[in-house]
Amino acid sequence: MSNENLYLPHLATITEIREEATGERGIKTFKVKINDDEVRNNFVHKPGQCAMLSVFGVGESIISISSPPTWKNFLEFTIMRVGNVTSALHMMSVGDVIGIRGPYGNGFPMDEFKGKNCIFIGAGVGIAPLRSVYQYVLGPEHRKEFGDVLLIYGARTPADLAYKREFEEIDKRDDVDLQMCIDWKFGPQGMIDEDAAEGWPKIKMSCPAETEIPEGCNHWTCFVPQLVEVAAPSPENAVALTCGPPIAIKFVVQNLEKLGFSDSQVYTTLENRMKCGIGKCGRCNIGEIYVCKDGPVFSRAQIKSMFQEF
Amino acid sequence: MDDMVLKKEKLSEWSNELSGYKLIAPSKEDDVVIFKETANLNMASLDYANSVKPPKEVFFPQTQELFRFEKTPEVKVSEGKKQTEKVLLFGVRPCDARSLLILDKLFYWDSEDPFYRQARDNTVIVGLACTSPHHNCYCTSVGGKPYSNEGLDVLMTDLGDRFFVEVITKKGEEVIRRPNELFLTATSEDKTLRDEIWEKAESEITKHVDVEGVHDKLGELFDSQYWEKKAQTCVGCGICSFLCPTCHCFDITDEDCGTCGRRIRTWDTCMIPEYTVHASGYNPRPGKKNRLKNRVFHKFRYFPDRFDVIACVGCGRCISKCPVGIDIVETLKEVKEQEEVKD
Amino acid sequence: MSEIEDKIREIAKKLLEEGKVKYFIGYAKGSDAFCAKPIIIDDPKDVDKLIWSPCCVNNLAVYLVDEIKKKPRRGEEPDLRPVGIIAKACDERGITVLLQENILPRERAYIIGIPCSGMAEPQKLEKLAGEKGISHKAIYDMHIREEENEFSFEAEGVKEALPRDEVLADKCKECFQHNPKECDIVIGESVENPQIEKYVTIKELEDMSLEDREKFWEKIFERCIRCNACKEVCPLCYCEECTVEKAKPMRWCSKSVDKSNNAFYHLMRAMHLVGRCIDCGECERVCPMGIPLRKLYKKLEKEAEELYGYEAGSSSEDVPLFAAFTNDDPDEFE
């Protein structure tokens, strides 16, 4: 319909708020239910897609949907408090009404991943968009369609790790290999050569691959890229999906390359400032690419062909 | 339909016939020509090379209300009244008319922008061929002509005491139905005079750049030092973008009055750091050089890659009004002379 | 004129060759003859690009603020050498305010002062050229000169004198201080300051009733497109984040372009320029919508003078108006 106001959000109610991480840049997960039954049923997203969330009077912000499409009737958003809108969201309570429009973006090409081993590598709040994919893959509806699953996730400290209870559940499953890490600590002389916390043994900085692995241990002190090196997934019939701060992605990708992953086997999501979400307002462009429409999911091969301005 | 002529003194009578239309025409205020609503077309200012602000705002207003909201007692959103009024936009220069075809590509691709669409559908555009172009005009370098009828419903040419009138589209026929006592059938003399005026106007366009090869050359110059040098004197204002008939970027913000408010979209410019800065503080285009480069790239590479057309119509506004004399034509010429940068 | 031009090039060359300045800010030929454009050069080979003509209207002091705000790259030693800059008397007053407000350390600028008895306004030149039937082609190669206090232009082999009064920029007609003071070196003879009636530009407005004045400004502000050019060219608008852009924790000025928000923008700017605006007229010159901003700032300049006997930018030793307090200060506005 050409006359439909594309900028008009649907009303949605916050039904649950979970505090994932505290601190200055706290992280919360919001469970949101679109008020109108018909709109809710028609809001069908793909893993990796985004939505525009509104706090009326404050503004709009593009947020990746962190629940898989297989979870019906509600959507989840895991949001770090950084800007005006996310700060306002963090002040909201269960029962409050927000606006939502979308879903936007391309999402991950799930059909192409079918039959393949999936490696998920998330750093910090970058785990949020990946969650919509690994929960899709691990769900009973689709688990059989995919091969082995390796899930690598790291955050700064144990307190910064999101989805704690959920990861405890995943850890119990035998059809997924979960590896988690917390950052090496910094001292005045550089990184401190000790475990960051109890129960998180340190991975050798100089040569991560040589670290002795205690039986059954999957909690480490290291950065995410080093954990990739330790876990050393095979590139054969595999895809790697990674998301996190640019610096983490950079080294994750380098290490994947070392392991033999080709550019078309590695996928990541880009973020850029967006206002409209529908390819009009102009600001999310990287060259002729509109991140909001053509992205946010890109293969490493696609990213390499872009003007490097992101 | 046959070509016609309209005596200038009959503009007023024609205006009266257009009672169903809101009339928008160039008007002069303290030497500044802008498009404004007018009661009668005989009040339009006709001695202008071009308006300072392009008529794009008729279709893409600088401030557009997207919807209103209430916050208490419960959250509600409501759409404002639809603009259904018919508009006759008079005196549009051929370059600005062409710019609308470029904006169409952006506003109609993938999903149609409802506000723009509505304004486009409701507006009849009557153009006025350029008789004395400004010295910064360069439409002929980017595919235009001072008498091009692309994007126009009617093209008029000022013959002195009368207008030569050509109806281009069906929409144009709605406002000029047939030769009648107002619109007389044009004579061959009228036509000859029109051709002479056209030719003279075209010969007066002396600013020129050959844009062939600019697209590819830009690709080679993404990492060039040239942009840093070029952008050194840029002050980072929004003149070039706001006055550009093809610039279309916008911001979306909320106006909050406590219990209620509205969401608006407003013109934005890629020449300021706020345009791309992430909430985290990270900015993919942190410097003036990144921003100036982006504007040039967007017009001459990104937009053509995406929509098959250069996003510049050669109106020359950005040249005339730049506070520090940055000249896009000069820039393109320099670009062509730069040596390729390899990593 | 050309003597001054030669001297500028000579000084710039020497400063750059000896590495005494980091770079040099001057004027170059614009793409048409009516505007000289700012240029920044760091290579002594480029000094021939520097020009001096009656079209050198820009206030280059705005680039000093750019320089001060530059942050060195991580691990990079900051280059604290001075920047060479050409300053007419009005530009120099702008630099003086930057010095007074401790924005610019004196040693960071090497100021080349040029006494100036007025510059031509590009729009006025363009209009005159049009009236004289100068062709578009000729506009690009036209020479505009000032010789013995007379403006002239030469195009297509014809030289014509320009009536000074008709081409002089409005701000220059009201300038009462032609000679820059805070300089490291002065080029050219000092010029006699004229006896002029100050504040003529606002006389008409002052005579209006309050209602009429309100209507006057309302109509004009309605035209503003908030391109921010007035604030970006102003050497004294140096805030890291301007009130109009500030969105955290709340937006003070809506991005909506309408009478009320536009008036807020301009009045906010005016209030922040009381006792600081040095009437270089850049805001008014660059405004694409022809908003007579000088009228606004001139009024405040007058208030500052009448109430506190303060003249902005007259000496770097002066305490800024808003930093000074004496028991004799008047405590109410008329």
Q: Examine residue B37 and state whether it is found in any structural domain, yes or no.
A: yes
Q: Are C159 and C208 in the same domain?
A: no
Q: Are B325 and B293 in the same domain?
A: yes
Q: Examine residue B257 and state whether it is found in any structural domain, yes or no.
A: no
Q: Examine residue C128 and state whether it is found in any structural domain, yes or no.
A: yes
Q: Are C144 and C21 in the same domain?
A: yes
Nearest CA-CA partner of C272 in C245, C238, C246, C319:
C238
Instruction: Name which of B79, B106, B284 is nearest A280 (Cβ-Cβ).
Output: B106
Q: Are B13 and B123 in the same domain?
A: yes
Q: Examine residue B16 and state whether it is found in any structural domain, yes or no.
A: yes
pLDDT band at A211 (very low <50, low <70, confident <90, very high): confident
Q: Are B17 and B144 in the same domain?
A: yes
Q: Are B168 and B92 in the same domain?
A: yes
Q: Are B238 and B308 in the same domain?
A: yes
Q: Are C180 and C211 in the same domain?
A: no
Check residue A1 and give its pLDDT.
Answer: 42
pLDDT band at A68 (very low <50, low <70, confident <90, very high): very high
* Number of structural domains found in chain C: 2
Q: Are B192 and B102 in the same domain?
A: yes
Mean pLDDT of A66-70: 96
Check residue C261 and give its pLDDT.
Answer: 93
**Considering chain C, what is the average pLDDT of its residues?**
90
Answer with the one of C143, C162, C186 that is the final residue of a domain: C186
Q: Are B148 and B94 in the same domain?
A: yes
Q: Are B189 and B226 in the same domain?
A: no
Q: Do B233 and C38 touch (CB under 8 A)?
A: yes
Report the percent of chain B where pLDDT is more than 70. Answer: 98
Report the percent of chain C where pLDDT is more than 70. Answer: 97
Instruction: Name which of B69, B112, B279 is nearest A2 (Cβ-Cβ).
Output: B112
Is the pLDDT at C333 greater than 70? The verdict is no
**Considering chain B, what is the average pLDDT of its residues?**
93
B262 pairs with which residues across the strands?
A: B68, B255
Per residue in A115-135, pLDDT (tens digit) is 999 999 999 999 999 999 999
pLDDT band at A114 (very low <50, low <70, confident <90, very high): very high
Q: Which residue has the tokens 């390359």?
A: A257
pLDDT band at A183 (very low <50, low <70, confident <90, very high): confident
Check residue B90 and give its pLDDT.
Answer: 97
pLDDT band at A150 (very low <50, low <70, confident <90, very high): very high
pLDDT band at C127 (very low <50, low <70, confident <90, very high): confident
Q: What single string gives the DSSP state of each residue in A152-217?
A: EEEESSGGG-SSHHHHHHHHH-SS-EEEEEEPPPEETTEE-SS-SBTTBPBPPSS-GGG----TT-
Q: Examine residue C192 and state whether it is found in any structural domain, yes or no.
A: no
Please, are residues A267 and A241 in contact by the beta-carbon 8 Å criterion?
Answer: yes
Per residue in B90-99, pLDDT (tens digit) is 999 999 999 9
Distance from C-alpha of B317 to C-alpha of B329, rounded to nearest angstrom? 12
Check residue A271 and give its pLDDT.
Answer: 84
Is the pLDDT at B343 greater than 60? The verdict is no
ipTM of predicted assembly, 2 dp: 0.92
- In chain A, the domains with their CATH numbers are 10-104 (2.40.30.10), 110-269 (3.40.50.80)
Query: Best residue in C64, C70, C238, C255 to probe B by mutation, most B CBs within 10 Å?
Result: C255
Q: Are B196 and B230 in the same domain?
A: no
Q: Do B236 and C140 touch (CB under 8 A)?
A: no
pTM of the model: 0.93
- Minimal Cα distance from A87: which residue of C? C249
**Strand segments (E) across A198-296:** 219-221, 238-243, 266-269, 285-286, 289-290
Distance from C-alpha of B35 to C-alpha of B21, rounded to nearest angstrom? 15
Answer with the one of C154, C186, C218 that is the final residue of a domain: C186
Check residue C322 and give its pLDDT.
Answer: 87
Q: Are C82 and C165 in the same domain?
A: yes
Q: Examine residue B76 and state whether it is found in any structural domain, yes or no.
A: no
Q: Examine residue B169 and state whether it is found in any structural domain, yes or no.
A: yes
Is the pLDDT at B311 greater than 90? The verdict is yes
Sign of the Cα pseudo-torsion (C124, C126, C127, C133, in order): positive
Q: Do B238 and C290 touch (CB under 8 A)?
A: no
Report the percent of chain A where pLDDT is more than 90. Answer: 71
Check residue C332 and give its pLDDT.
Answer: 66
Check residue B341 and give its pLDDT.
Answer: 66
Q: Are C204 and C178 in the same domain?
A: no
Mean pLDDT of C25-50: 93
- Minimal Cα distance from C26: which residue of B? B233
- Minimal Cα distance from B202: which residue of C? C136
Q: Are C169 and C239 in the same domain?
A: no
Per residue in B74-117, pLDDT (tens digit) is 999 998 777 789 999 999 999 999 999 999 999 999 999 999 99
State the residue range of the domain holding C178: 2-186
Check residue A197 and give its pLDDT.
Answer: 73
| Residues of C whose CB is below 8 A from A84 | 247-249
Least confident of A244-253, B103-112, B178-187, C59-68: B178-187
